[in-house]
Structures are given as C-alpha cells and as structure tokens.
Amino acid sequence: MTETLTLDKPRSPRRPAARRSNFELYSWLFMRLSGLALVVLVLGHLFIMNILDGGVHRIDFAFVAGRWASPFWQFWDLSMLWLAQLHGGNGLRTIIDDYARKDTTRFWLKILLYVSMAIILVLGTMVIFTFDPNIAT
C-alpha cells in the first residue's frame, strides 16, 4: 500500500521555480557589447564627417550619394543606426525607471520613448535601403 505524501504549497517538492527573467542581465551585457562597437562606429563617423578634409563644410546631397554608393558605408551606417538607437533607448529606459516617481508617468514616458525609437529605426532603415541618387532627375 502506497501512501502519497501531500505537502502544502510552500514545502511542496514541485513548487514552481521563481519566475524571474534575465532581461536586465542581457540588457547590461548589450550596453557593453554595443558600446564597444559604437566606440569605433560613432567616433569614426564623427571624425570623417566633422574633422577630416573640411569636415561638415563638404557635406551635401552629392557627398551622401557618393558614400551610400558603397555597401561598406551602407552597412556601417545601418549598424550604427540600430546599435546607437537600441543603446541610447536602453539608457533612457534606465533613466526613466530611475527618476519617474509615479507609475503612470513612467508608463507614458516609456511609451513615448518606444514610439520614438520605432519611428527612428523604421525611417532610418528605410532611408538607407531606398536611397535614390537620381531622385531629382
């Protein structure tokens, strides 16, 4: 005759594991990995665009067309756009969590943040992929 042992929830051996996610760990790691890539991508971008060879004074539509004719710079700008937007968005999420005092304020600030991130990511990606150097003609 077998006797089944029944225990109340807290001491039950089949108590479900605490439901925790590792999201914050991955976000912490992402900030460091993306930051490392952005050091090269963004500082390179700023050096080329603002300091090298006359800096901002040589930038116009033709200059952009010349750069985006190369898949290398298209890929550079696309990865910079996504990494910078996610890195900055994640940073701002942390700041909202730190300083928003009411849950409703926190909620709406985050909605605003996520909507602006989505707009910038979609618009920027679309611009890089659909760029037309002969748009005027």
Q: What does the alpha-carbon distance between residue 43 and residue 124 come to, in Å, rounded to a whole number?
A: 19
**What is the closest distance, in whole angstroms, from the C-beta atom of residue 104 to other proteins in the complex?**
22
Handedness of CA 17, 18, 24, 29 (dihedral sign): negative
Both tokens of residue 44?
């390179």
Query: Min. distance of Cβ 11 from other proteins in angstroms?
Result: 39
Question: Of 14-73, which residues contact other proteins (CB under 8 A)?
Answer: 32, 35-36, 38-39, 42-43, 46, 50-51, 54-57, 59-62, 64
Of the candidates 130, 28, 124, 134, the residue with the CA atom closest to the CA atom of residue 76? 124
Residue 49 and residue 56 in contact, taking contact as beta carbons nearer than 8 Å: yes
Instruction: Summarize as ranges the residues that interact with other proteins (CB under 8 A).
Output: 32, 35-36, 38-39, 42-43, 46, 50-51, 54-57, 59-62, 64, 81, 84-85, 88-89, 91-92, 95, 116, 120, 123-124, 126-127, 130-132, 135-136
